[in-house]
Amino acid sequence: YRAGIPGNASYDYVVIGGGTAGLAIASRLSASASVAVIEAGGIYEQDTGNQSVVPYYSLIFPFLGTSEDHPKEPLIDWDLVSIPQASSGNRRIHYAQGKTLGGCSAINTLAYHRGTKGSYQHWADLVGDQSYSFERLLRFFKLTCTLTPPDPRKRNAPNATVLYDPSVFDNSLNGPLQVSWANWVDPASSWLARALQAVGQSLSPTGFSSGKMNGGGWVSTAIDPKDATRSSSEASYLQKSGAGVTVYLHSQASKILFDKDKKATGVAVSTQDKNYVITSKKEVILSAGVFHSPQLLMLSGIGPAATLAAHSIHLLSNLTGVGQNLWDQIFVNVLGGLDVPTTGTYLSTPSQRALALEQYLTNASGPYSSAGGYLSFEKLPPTHRATLSPRTRSLLSHFPADWPEIEYIVSGFPSGLDAPSPPTIGAIAATLLTPSSRGSVTISSSSILNPPVIDLGWLTDPADGDVLVAAVRRIREAFNSSVLTPLIAGAEIAPGDAVTSDMDILAWVRQNAQPIWHASSTCRMGRVGDLDAVVDSRTRVFGVERLRVVDNSVVPFSLPGHPQASVYMLAEKIAEDVLRGW
Ligand SMILES: Cc1cc2nc3c(=O)[nH]c(=O)nc-3n(C[C@H](O)[C@H](O)[C@H](O)COP(=O)(O)OP(=O)(O)OC[C@H]3O[C@@H](n4cnc5c(N)ncnc54)[C@H](O)[C@@H]3O)c2cc1C
């Protein structure tokens, strides 16, 4: 690709945001057109080096802290902070979002998998377009990536067998994203995985990329196995694209420009010392992510009329759904002391780190090469379901039959304490995959310089607390299973043995819920005439022309599990629509 020099210029397509979807679609369009990418950040490999490239560090980035006073990393994070979450301890949540080429794919935790067949069918039915069925999306999923099978020799963990379905990948397509399995297994995680299996969550025979998410498995990751480095949209799609893509770095789009017929004609851009306009001969594609895409639509005259009027913004299209319908999955970690080592244990002294570094550099393996890995999905079993209120059960019944309600994620970290204290703190997280609460994004001024105003809406619907309380009890079963009896050391660390009643567990959940950074749906896709729809099924924005939104903000709901595989898929699908002139 080429580096753009700030100043007026013209291209066939202008993509706002060089993130996950933005670079994938820009790269595909550039095969037959000129494409400009406007990206507010820089190049993460230069700006934060090993931290953003080496898989292990993605688990311990200090700036992923979620409290208001988290350590800052302005070179790659937007430093967005929500408004106080009234139903979640009145906390203001720092919600990390990548501000760099690659966007969130440059800072995420690398898990790669797809949603369930039922979830894509629900998408297809909701938007009235059967091309969103899993069978028809599979072609686009296959286009995105190249799969490298697990290497048992390097993983060196006989009790961490990987099961997956190779038929849903097609390496002959030479997909840019590298998908593989980590060349290291965390011992604590493999024990916690066995504990989940012991309470009935058996190993899935297919893994999680063939439209099924039921049971446990070692998840595939966006890691390039050749050197165990992050495969972001920048390291994959952009690096593979030719001179057809021109990237403007440290350049913030401040407004989408339209002619008198409401056709998008380009983008107003500002750098620290220059304002300029990039004109689009064909289309503008907005890929600024779940918080900034709705912000930019509103600043450009597309959104709820009342909001725009309040900030004296000229109204082009009154779309009440812009910034609404925010879905966010949240998680809580149940913690217990474990008498087994964990990945961090192998990195706690200078000589261990030197050894690990040698393994990493010579063999692309060892503790540094992995970003974790065991996930387990389930619908709550009948005994736990029985504890939910009738209303909660009714809300859950509206999700497709194959849509899991909880994702359990296992991990461990060194306790840092000397014996007789346990060396490891083992964690099983419960992530809520069926949130009923909704948040929103709005603006506080007509200027791009003011960040979007984010209300995550966490736990505002009682159903979400209800389900998470049941999930905490379920995790306690796993910690109490006989598999862990010889390894458990001491009392439960969190929530702690004193927290037993539903009311107390719920209070703890409200204080301790964390983001898993999967927010979506703030510019949701829908049918013409749907009350809060913002784009149609080809992601064209209602009420204007030559403008699409392509990122996780248009996905109509948070798909179960981790979204990046579907974001790449969507970029491939819409690139094909654009090139066909649809
Ligand atoms: C910490 C973290 C961990 C995660 N872990 C996982 C995981 O393990 N697996 C998984 O599947 N998903 C994970 N996710 C979620 C996933 O990465 C995101 O949902 C997905 O990458 C979003 O892609 P996007 O294209 O919608 O937006 P982004 O990738 O965020 O791209 C938006 C881009 O637009 C740019 N931008 C914004 N505003 C402007 C502007 N005005 N002008 C110019 N540029 C602008 C941004 O800088 C950014 O580069 C994680 C996310 C985070 C933050």
CA of 248 to the centre of ligand 1 (A): 18
pLDDT over 90, % of the chain = 98
Is 70 catalytic? The answer is no
CATH code at 531? 3.50.50.60
Same domain, 356 and 262: no
In a domain, 498, yes or no: yes
What's the confidence (pLDDT) of residue 159? 83
> Considering only CA atoms, which of 268, 173, 183, 194 is closest in space to residue 220?
183
Which comes out higher in pLDDT, residue 376 or 158? Answer: 376
The CATH number given to whatever domain includes residue 336 is 3.30.560.10
User: What percentage of the chain reaches a pLDDT higher than 70?
Assistant: 100
Distance CA(124)–CA(130), nearest Å, equals 5
- The closest of 139, 147, 146, 52 to 98, measured between CA atoms, is 52
Residues 288, 350, single domain; the answer is: no
Residues 180 and 162 reside in one and the same domain: yes
User: Does residue 373 sit in the same domain as residue 426?
Assistant: yes
If one counts the domains in the chain, the total is: 2
Are 295 and 322 in the same domain?
A: yes
pLDDT value, residue 420: 84
Instruction: Indicate if 473 and 580 belong to the same structural domain.
Output: no
Q: Transcribe 141-175 into DSSP letters.
A: HHHHEEE----HHHH--TTS-----GGG--GGG--
- Asked if residue 122 belongs to a domain, the reply is no
Query: 341 lies in a domain?
Result: yes
Alpha helices in 224-263 (DSSP H): 239-240
Residue 158 clears pLDDT 90, i.e. is over it: no
Ligand 1 atom nearest the C-alpha of 18 is: 49
- What's the rounded Cα separation, in Å, for the pair 456 and 516? 12
The CB density around residue 260, as the number of other CB atoms within 10 Å, is 5
Enter the pTM of the model: 0.98
Average per-residue pLDDT for the chain:
97
Q: Two tokens at 300?
A: 């450009």
Class of residue 331 by CB neighbours under 10 A (exposed 0-12, middle 13-18, buried 19+)? buried
339 and 279, same domain (yes or no) = no
464: helix, strand or coil: helix
- Whether 254 maps to a domain, the answer reads yes
Residue 344 DSSP label? G
CB-based contact 154:338 (threshold 8 Å): no
User: What is the arithmetic mean of pLDDT over 50-59?
Assistant: 97
Q: Summarize pLDDT for 352-408 with one digit per residue, the tens.
A: 999 999 999 999 999 999 998 999 999 999 999 999 999 999 999 999 999 999 999
Ligand 1 atom closest to the Cα of residue 562 is 11
Residues 181 and 284 grouped into a single domain = no
At residue 543, what are phi and psi to the nearest 5 degrees? 90, -10
Query: Are residue 101 and residue 181 in the same domain, yes or no?
Result: no
Does residue 312 form part of some domain?
A: yes
201-220 average pLDDT score: 98
For the stretch 181-208, pLDDT in tens is 999 999 999 999 999 999 999 999 999 9
| Cβ burial, residue 275 (10 Å; 0-12/13-18/19+) | exposed
Q: 134 lies in a domain?
A: no
Task: Supply the DSSP symbol for 183.
Answer: S
Domain with 373 in it? 149-166+176-204+213-224+330-434+459-512
- Ligand 1: nearest atom to the Cα of 113: 11
Q: Is a pLDDT exceeding 90 seen at residue 338?
A: yes
Task: From 177, 120, 167, select the one nearest 146 (Cα to Cα).
Answer: 177
For 223-249, how does the pLDDT look when each residue is reduced to its tens digit (9 = 90+)? 999 999 999 999 999 999 989 999 999
ipTM of this predicted complex? 1.00
In a domain, 171, yes or no: no
Do 156 and 35 sit in the same domain of this protein?
Answer: no
The pLDDT score that the predictor gives to residue 491 is 94
Q: Which three-class secondary structure state does DSSP give residue 37?
A: strand
Pocket lined around ligand 1, Cβ cut-off 6 Å = 16-22, 38-41, 64, 96-99, 103-105, 107-111, 252-253, 287-290, 292, 296, 448, 517-518, 551-552, 562-564, 567
Does residue 114 form part of some domain?
A: no
Q: Are residues 35 and 97 in the same domain?
A: yes
| Mean pLDDT for the stretch of residues 453-474 | 98
Rounded CA-CA distance 164/204 in Å is: 8
In this prediction, residue 458 has a pLDDT band, given cuts at 50, 70 and 90, of very high
395/538 same-domain check? no
Ligand 1 mutation target, pool 108, 278, 449, 549, most atoms within 8 A of CB: 108
398 annotated to bind ligand: no
